Amino acid sequence: MDHAKSIEAFKEASRYIPGGVDSPVRAFGSVGGVPPFIDRGEGAYLYDIDGNRYIDYVQSWGPLIFGHCDPEIEEAVVETARKGLSFGAPTLLETELAREIVELFESIDKVRFVNSGTEAVMSAIRLARGATGRDDIVKFTGCYHGHSDSLLVQAGSGAATFGNPSSPGVPADLTRHTLLATYNDLESVERCFEQSEGIACVIIEPIAGNMGLVPAEEEFLKGLRALCDEHGALLIFDEVMSGFRASLKGAQGLTSVRPDLVTLGKVIGGGMPVGAFGGRREIMAQLSPEGPVYQAGTLSGNPVAMAAGLASLRKLKSDPSIYVTLADRARKLTEGFAAAAHAVELPMVTEVRGSMFGFFFTDEAVKNFEDAKRGDNEIFKAFHREMLERGVYLACSSYETGFISTAHGDELIEETIRAAYESLERIAE
């Protein structure tokens, strides 16, 4: 493939934008090379400015369940945009989308819209702290909850594994209230409770999507629920990625455990910038203007984003069997990847949850971030490069998740598997 125009575009972007990108992972830093600059999307495909076509398994990092440029979602966006892009005032669309979410999620009585997943998580944690009157929070190594200060932490040295800042510009005074535990390891959470003077909440991706795809085990989630109940802490499910992706009810359609608060994003905007957080009525009543916990946003509940989200969600509700089809295709794809790897004696384990999929170049089960780090990133880097040259656009990090859309038919899945065989044979040589 020719990437001359993308190479020049990246050089030009780097003159005006730090690193040439507006989100770090887009720079292809972990896989090498220059990112293709995208001109347009259509269904399961992306087209770059050099005219190359790719089968897209990123789908804007999750929200495009119906692929790029779905006609019904496009129509809803255009029709709404013609009435005005933003008002900073209430619209009926906000209530309509809120009602749809509340009716689907047993754990949500009320919901508030924001503009991103980062903002949703930041606001939910503030609400949890305000509702409990406590400062400490527990998060899990390998789970990503956005780039707010309290959540940019790395493992510390204390018995409770208190967090240290993992980015310059983050005060240690903020992250000292963030305790780190190990995913799928209840004992590590128990130690956090033992060492803290007061934990406001435990926040977890019930289906982790930022260390690769790593689901939480059911007994582990049950244990978290019991610990939070015992200590009077709130349990927050970060479903920014899994909400409406893993199932119509997100991860909560796959587990019996119910959180106190939920954060949502990506999918509820159908491709437009959006986020949300919601939970039990008495907790949400602590939120301004009903209660004392302040949170605001001029563009929150933006009508164009609400319209896109409503169109997407109503399409999903009208045919829930979509999730069965998507899961079948995700399994077919990952089984094909694994068979291709094993054919050339390379290790690989795979995971699927609904329309989300992941794979690691390792022969050991992946239950947490330490397991994920044992995957062979050099093989992944080579695989990503070879697949890109064969017209397959995968997430540009081994710690990200892939997504299937309704536009990924069986023929495209088979084409992708053939590309995987060719790529892995080339790598094995």
CA distance 34 to 2: 12
Nearest to 119 by CA among 297, 271, 318: 297
Strands of 392-393's sheet, edge to edge?
Answer: 38-42, 45-48, 53-56, 392-393
> CA 110, CA 116: separation in Å to the nearest integer?
18
**Contact by Cβ (8 Å): 195, 158:** yes
Q: Which residue has the tokens 């956005």?
A: 146
**Distance (Å, whole) CA 378 – CA 381:** 5
Q: Is 238 a catalytic residue?
A: yes
Indicate if 144 belongs to the active site.
yes
* Residues written for the chain: 429
Give the pairing of strands 234-239 and 199-204: parallel
Is there a contact between 37 and 49 (Cβ–Cβ < 8 Å)? yes
Structure tokens at 349: 């384990």
Are 80 and 243 in contact, with CB atoms under 8 Å apart? Answer: no
Contact 336, 416 (CB under 8 A): yes
In angstroms, the CA 133 to CA 131 distance is 6
Sequence-ordered list of residues with C-beta below 8 angstroms from that of 169, at least 6 positions apart, any chain:
none
The C-alpha atoms of residue 287 and residue 318 are separated, in whole angstroms, by 33
* Cβ-Cβ contacts under 8 Å for 367 (sequence gap 6 or more): 183, 184, 214, 217
* Contact of 414 with 395, CB cutoff 8 Å: no
Which of 56, 136, 185, 238 is catalytic? The answer is: 238
Active-site entry in 183, 266, 371, 381: 266
For the record, the structure tokens of 362 come out as 């390792």
Contacts of 178 by beta carbon, 8 Å cutoff, 6+ apart: 136, 137, 138, 139, 150, 151, 153, 162, 163
Our answer to whether residue 266 is catalytic in this structure is: yes
* From 45, 54, 57, 144, the catalytic residue: 144
**Alpha carbon distance, N-terminus to C-terminus of the chain:** 21
Q: Please tell me whether the peptide bond between 289 and the residue prior to it is cis, using omega within 30 degrees of 0.
A: yes
Positions annotated as catalytic residues are 144, 238, 266
